[in-house]
Each structure stands twice: as C-alpha cells, then as structure tokens.
C-alpha cells in the first residue's frame, strides 16, 4: 500500500494572511489608530507617527539593501517600495527643515527597528517584516492617506509615505509580491519562523501605537 501524499504546505502568502488576521484586527482597532483615523487627534499625532516610521523603515531598508544581491532574498527587494526618502520629505514638511532636531523617537519604535536588524540576514524574517509593512502600506495605508487628507488638512505634502508613484496599480503589485513570497519555497520550519515573526511584527506595531496613544489623546 502506498503512503498517502502529504498535504501540500500552504503557500507562504496565504499562511501569512490567514495567520496574522487576528493581529491585523487588533492593530487596526488600537485606540490610537481609531482616534487618528476618525479625526479625533491633530496633525501633531500624525507627525509623531511619521517620525516613528522613519527608524522602522531605516532598519527595514538597510536590511533589504544588504539582501539585494542574495539569490534567495533578493527578489523580495523592490526599489519602488523604498520609503525612507518619502518619510524624510514628510518630516521636513511636518516639522520644518530642522526636523532631525525636532523629532522624538519612542522606545517602542527603537525596539521594533532593533528587532528588524537583529534578525538579519535571515530571509524568512526579512520576508515577515517586509510583508507586514509594505503590503500594509499598499492596502490600509491608502485608507490612512485619505483619512489624513480629510481630517488634518494634508494634501500630498506630508503624505509622501503613502504614495507609490512607481506602483500605479497596488493590487497588481501585491499579487506579484505574494508570488515572490511563495517562490521562496520555505521549508516547514522556515515558514513557521516567518509566520511567528510576522505576528511579532504586528505586536511591535501595536506597541508603537500604544506608546503614541499615551502621548496623543482625543
């Protein structure tokens, strides 16, 4: 009697999506996020969020740059996703030209950035961090942009972070990105590590929101 074939391992993109669904709901419903999105805060809360994102993306894009020539991880690195220059432009608009002296980075954001660096050069870990941020920016980020325009009088300037001029159709790009994730062909242990790290990335995001929530109340 021949052995039954093992169930095929789920594609990484599906594993990440299903496995982080509850974390996503939790992040989306963090009080700071809800308050910011409903217009209950002010522009300084948005500016503070942008400042925290700077250190997170500096870490993510530093690790990504080092992975660019990696046979396995390289295909996950896309120039058109690069966010640090856009964040710097936003900060110059929001804080003024002396923004580097004026922003304040919260310990939770430093911890998040440190975790991204600490897991380099692991491809499953980079995949988890890049997935969590970039696919989020291309999805909910677009809703965030509209709400910031509506509630805080921003129009393009200050919102460069959410604009991907080289990605005209987010859905097409996200599908291609998911194919790259799936093409990594992670083994079972690596896939489990990637999911655990993506869940951790969501928790690190929530910790930043919680700290921002202490600083900005309706």
Peptide bond into 121 cis (omega under 30): yes
- Helices 188-215, 43-67: axis angle to 10 degrees equals 150
Q: In 3-state terms, what secondary structure has residue 42?
A: coil
The whole-angstrom separation of Cα 180 and Cα 205 is 24
Shortest reach from residue 174's CB to ligand HEM, in Å: 6
Q: Which of 192, 163, 10, 168 is nearest to 83 (CA)?
A: 163
Binding ligand HEM by CB under 6 A: which of 11, 12, 15, 27?
A: 27
75 binds ligand HEM (CB under 6 A): no
Shortest reach from residue 52's CB to ligand HEM, in Å: 12
Q: Is 212 exposed, middle or buried (0-12, 13-18, 19+ CB in 10 A)?
A: buried
Q: State the residue number with the nearest CB to ligand HEM.
A: 140
Within residues 125-144, the interface with ligand HEM by CB under 6 A covers 131-133, 135-136, 139-140, 143-144
Q: Stretches 1-9, 26-34, 86-94, 116-124: which one binds ligand HEM (CB under 6 A)?
A: 26-34
The whole-angstrom separation of Cα 170 and Cα 207 is 27
Shortest reach from residue 60's CB to ligand HEM, in Å: 11
Cβ proximity to ligand HEM: between 102 and 150 the closer is: 150
- Residues contacting 24, CB < 8 A, separation 6+: 202
Binding ligand HEM by CB under 6 A: which of 90, 177, 202, 211?
A: 202
Shortest reach from residue 139's CB to ligand HEM, in Å: 3
Q: Where along the sequence are the contacts to ligand HEM (CB under 6 A)?
A: 16-17, 24, 27-28, 33, 37, 131-133, 135-136, 139-140, 143-144, 174, 202, 205
């Amino acid at each position: 009697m021949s052995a039954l074939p093992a169930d095929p391992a789920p594609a990484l993109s599906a594993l990440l999506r299903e496995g982080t669904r509850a974390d996503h709901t939790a992040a989306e419903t963090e009080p700071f996020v809800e308050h910011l999105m409903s217009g209950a805060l002010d522009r300084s809360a948005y500016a503070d969020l942008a400042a925290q994102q700077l250190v997170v993306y500096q870490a993510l894009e530093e690790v990504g740059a080092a992975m660019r020539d990696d046979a396995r991880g390289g295909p996950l690195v896309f120039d058109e996703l690069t966010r640090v220059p856009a964040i710097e432009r936003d900060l110059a608009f929001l804080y003024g030209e002396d923004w580097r002296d004026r922003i304040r980075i919260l310990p939770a954001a430093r911890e998040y950035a440190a975790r991204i660096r600490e897991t380099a050069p692991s491809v499953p870990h980079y995949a988890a961090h890049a997935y969590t941020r970039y696919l989020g920016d291309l999805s909910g980020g677009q809703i965030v942009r509209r709400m910031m325009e509506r509630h805080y009088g921003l129009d393009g300037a200050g919102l460069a972070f959410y604009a991907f001029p080289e990605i005209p159709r987010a859905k097409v790009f996200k599908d291609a990105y998911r194919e790259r994730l799936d093409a990594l062909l992670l083994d079972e242990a690596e896939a489990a590590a990637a999911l655990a790290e993506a869940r951790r990335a969501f928790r690190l995001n929530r910790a930043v929101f919680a700290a921002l929530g202490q600083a900005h109340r309706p």
